[in-house]
Amino acid sequence: MRWLRGGGISGFVVRRVLLGLLTLFLVSVVVFVATQALGDPARAILGRDATPERLTALQNQLNLDQSLVQQYLNWLGGLLHGDLGDSLAAQLPVSTLLHDRLINSAVLVFCAAVISIPLSIALGSYAALRREKPFDTISTNIMLLLAALPEFVVAVLLVILFATTVFTWLPAISAVPPGTHPWDDPKILILPTLTLILAVAPYVARIMRASMIEVLESDYVEMARLKGLPERTVLRRHALPNAIGPVFQVIAINLAYLAGGIVVVEYVFAYPGIGSALLDAVVNHDIPVVQALAMLIAGVYVVVNLLADVATILVTPRLRTRL
């Protein structure tokens, strides 16, 4: 980025988009090399005792007889046209196979994000305002312990607590019968969503608290108070906009994490999303599905980070003036 400076906000956005495209391109090379070039996909699919004829036939079907560069260009070309290839296990186009699952996962991530982000921003800000008071001490320590727990531990503990053992209020399995949508039976969404919220909220709340404390101690908040502005206005107009900037980065990282972390959560609740699709594909050595999902999850990470960088600059008054 050092070779391209200036240009104000639009220059920054253009540089950041170009950088994102470069990262996406490199990501696609890594996905391709890792899945197709390192191993022998045909042998991985058919197993060790495959006959040479079947091996050759499948190698032709997968275009493995072409050069690696040609294979990569074919794959990338298809990817750019929305053609993700055919699933080897289901004999269906990958896009058809993943369509419903993508919607299911998006519903889950959306519910978790919509609840956890405002909740953690509110919790973090309130803890910062009540710094070193009981609310702050208790919430900070609970967040610290929650943040350390792996999400499958949280998920199974929630199942024990609310579904199977202590109480039996909620379903332990979140199956979505074919032809229906997860929102037809919202009860099944509660425990998976709660798991994701508990996995994400501690991080956002901790950063929000740290950021808010820094801003509250700054000169311009002091200045706003000395001007005699009411405390509500000081918080809303001066403190919050500046404090929320760094939080966007953490929200971005956590949203991208949600795209990957749902693997475990969907497995626990047998929820038919892209996470469980990835796990099935891994077990069945269904390389085209693995490639598509790896690109999708990494792509989400790159795009969300890009949006966060731009949003941080646009939202934070003191950074905007520096451009």
Partner 1 sequence: MSQTEQAPALAEGVDTPTPPGRTSSLLARSLRLWRTRIGLLFVLILVVIAIIGPWIAPHGASEFVATPFSKPGQNGAGILGSDYIGQDVYSRFLYGGSSILLSATISTAIGMVLGIAIGLVAAYARNALDEVLMRAMDVIMAFPQILLALVAVSLIGAGWGIIIAAIALTTAPRVARVTRGAALPVVERDFVAATESMGLSRPRILTGELFPSILGPIMVEATLRLTYSIGVIAALAFLGLAPDPNGANWGSMIQQNQLALATQPWGALAPILAIALLTMGTGLIGDGIARTAAGIDRERGDE
Write down the least CB distance from residue 178 to partner 1, Å: 24
Nearer to partner 1, 23 or 95 (CB): 23
Nearer to partner 1, 165 or 180 (CB): 165
Interface residue list for partner 1 (CB under 8 A): 1-2, 22-23, 26-27, 30, 34-35, 38-39, 44, 141, 144-145, 147-153, 156-157, 159-160, 164-165, 168, 172, 199-200, 203, 206-207, 209-211, 250, 253-254, 256-257, 259-261, 263-264, 267, 278-279, 281-283, 285, 290, 294, 297-298, 301-302
Task: Give the residue ranges of DSSP H helices in the chain.
Answer: 8-32, 41-46, 52-61, 68-80, 94-129, 134-148, 151-159, 187-216, 219-226, 231-233, 240-268, 274-283, 287-315, 317-320
Report yes or no: 323 and 12 within 8 Å, Cβ to Cβ: yes
Instruction: State the residue for tokens 């919790």.
Output: 123
In one-letter notation, the amino acid at residue 187 is: K
Report yes or no: 85 and 75 within 8 Å, Cβ to Cβ: yes
C-alpha 153: how far from chain center: 19
Write down the least CB distance from residue 82 to partner 1, Å: 21
Give me 264's structure tokens. 């475990």
Write down the least CB distance from residue 266 to partner 1, Å: 11
Report yes or no: 42 and 62 within 8 Å, Cβ to Cβ: yes
Write down the least CB distance from residue 20 to partner 1, Å: 10
Report yes or no: 260 and 293 within 8 Å, Cβ to Cβ: no
Nearer to partner 1, 224 or 268 (CB): 268
Nearer to partner 1, 14 or 26 (CB): 26
178: Cβ contacts below 8 Å, ≥ 6 apart: none
Write down the least CB distance from residue 250 to partner 1, Å: 6
Nearer to partner 1, 145 or 226 (CB): 145
In one-letter notation, the amino acid at residue 247 is: V
Nearer to partner 1, 104 or 211 (CB): 211
Report yes or no: 66 and 36 within 8 Å, Cβ to Cβ: no
Write down the least CB distance from residue 301 to partner 1, Å: 5
Write down the least CB distance from residue 146 to partner 1, Å: 9
Contacts for 81-85: CB closer than 8 Å, 24+ residues apart:
84/288, 84/291, 84/292, 85/288, 85/291, 85/292
Nearer to partner 1, 14 or 153 (CB): 153
Task: Give the residue ranges of DSSP H helices in 217-238.
Answer: 219-226, 231-233
R_g of the chain, CA atoms, integer Å: 24
Nearer to partner 1, 194 or 264 (CB): 264
Cα–Cα distance between 52 and 74 in angstroms, integer? 25
Convert 193-206 to b/e letters by CB count within 10 Å (16 or more is b): bbbbbbbbbbbbbb
Nearer to partner 1, 176 or 196 (CB): 196
Write down the least CB distance from residue 274 to partner 1, Å: 11
Write down the least CB distance from residue 220 to partner 1, Å: 20
